[in-house]
Amino acid sequence: MTTALITGASTGIGEKFAKELASRQTNLVLVARSQDKLDNLATELSSKYQIKTTVIAQDLTTTAARKAVFDTVQAQNITIDLLINNAGFGDYGAFSDRPLSKMMEMVQLNISAVVELTGLFLPLMQTRKDGAIINVSSIAAFQPIPYMSVYAASKAFILNFSEALWAENKDLGVRILAICPGPTESEFYDRADFPKSTTAFNTMTMASAEAVVKESLRALDKSQSTAVVGGFKNQIIVNLPRLMPRDLLVGVVGKQFKHI
């Protein structure tokens, strides 16, 4: 049986990855801050599918926490076949209006945790010439987003980082995939305090997290570097920026995201 480690497994897309992989007889290591939610999910999935589950409650914004996750997995002799770097959050508002500490926390979780967990687990996969990493980027990666500047930039980092690693590892037996969901049902928008009065919010089509997960796992089966998931509209959104001058692009996106 294979084992997947999923960060941000307590809700949303990460929780649905856990449910889908459990139904495919994958053992799970579930990571997030909410110990109770992870424990409940682990109990539900291990009794429903007879899989092994391990819960590691950690706040991944620190290096110590990421090392604790790695050390716990090593101490229990668990081989991670699939690492899903999914934990992340957004925050709405003009950069200078938002607490700098929150922006730095976002950089720590959305970028540093992904780089560090990848750096810890990838060499083991390379030695085995087997394994896969899914990094959760976003369609926000394809253009700057005023009022979500750090978030969109963090997802651009993840997309570029993952695609480069895909090329470095494709002949080494390790698959790397960046998934780029569009708007997806989860706690993301509430947690980001995203205002319902924006054009962006009112023109969104929400995909289900289950559909996003299934599409992502199909892309992994095909060893793709990148998968824009969650509906055809997202394919259009990510391709439009190629056709527009960047000043015009960021101006148009800014109007969509401005709080009215």
Ligand X SMILES: NC(=O)c1ccc[n+]([C@@H]2O[C@H](COP(=O)([O-])OP(=O)(O)OC[C@H]3O[C@@H](n4cnc5c(N)ncnc54)[C@H](OP(=O)(O)O)[C@@H]3O)[C@@H](O)[C@H]2O)c1
The amino acid sitting at 18 is A
Per-position x/- string for 185-224, each x denoting binding to ligand X as judged by CB under 6 A, each - no binding: -xxx--x---------------------------------
Dihedral of CA 161/62/188/223: which sign? positive
The answer to whether the CB of 83 falls within 8 A of the CB of 134 is yes
138 near ligand X (CB under 6 A): yes
Candidates 86, 112, 118, 216; binder of ligand X (CB under 6 A) is: 86
Measure the CA angle with vertex 122, ends 72 and 27; round to 5°: 50
The amino acid sitting at 57 is A
* Shortest CB 224 distance to ligand X, Å: 17
135 near ligand X (CB under 6 A): no
Measure the CA angle with vertex 227, ends 102 and 247; round to 5°: 60
Candidates 109, 148, 159, 176; binder of ligand X (CB under 6 A) is: 109
Comparison of 59 and 130: residue with beta carbon closer to ligand X: 59
* Shortest CB 65 distance to ligand X, Å: 7
**Residue the block writes with tokens 């000043």:** 247
- Count of residues binding ligand X (CB under 6 A)? 29
- For ligand X, which stretch binds (CB under 6 A), given 11-19, 48-56, 91-99, 215-223? 11-19
Q: In the chain, where does DSSP find H-type helix?
A: 12-23, 35-49, 63-75, 100-107, 113-128, 149-169, 188-191, 199-202, 209-221, 232-239, 246-257
Comparison of 127 and 199: residue with beta carbon closer to ligand X: 199
Comparison of 131 and 231: residue with beta carbon closer to ligand X: 231
The amino acid sitting at 164 is A
Report d(CA 8, CA 22) in Å as an integer. Answer: 16
Per-position x/- string for 32-61, each x denoting binding to ligand X as judged by CB under 6 A, each - no binding: xxx--x---------------------xxx
What DSSP state is assigned to residue 97? G
The answer to whether the CB of 141 falls within 8 A of the CB of 156 is yes
69 near ligand X (CB under 6 A): no
* Shortest CB 31 distance to ligand X, Å: 7
Task: Say how many CA atoms lie within 13 Å of 42 toward its Cβ.
Answer: 22
Catalytic residue among 49, 92, 147, 151: 151
Among this protein's residues, is 92 annotated catalytic? no
Candidates 3, 4, 5, 13; binder of ligand X (CB under 6 A) is: 13
Comparison of 20 and 130: residue with beta carbon closer to ligand X: 20
Which value, to the nearest 10 degrees, does the dihedral of the CA atoms of residues 146, 110, 33, 77 take? Answer: 170
Applying CB under 6 A, which residues contact ligand X? 7-14, 32-34, 37, 59-61, 86-89, 109, 136, 138, 181, 183-184, 186-188, 191
Catalytic residues: 151
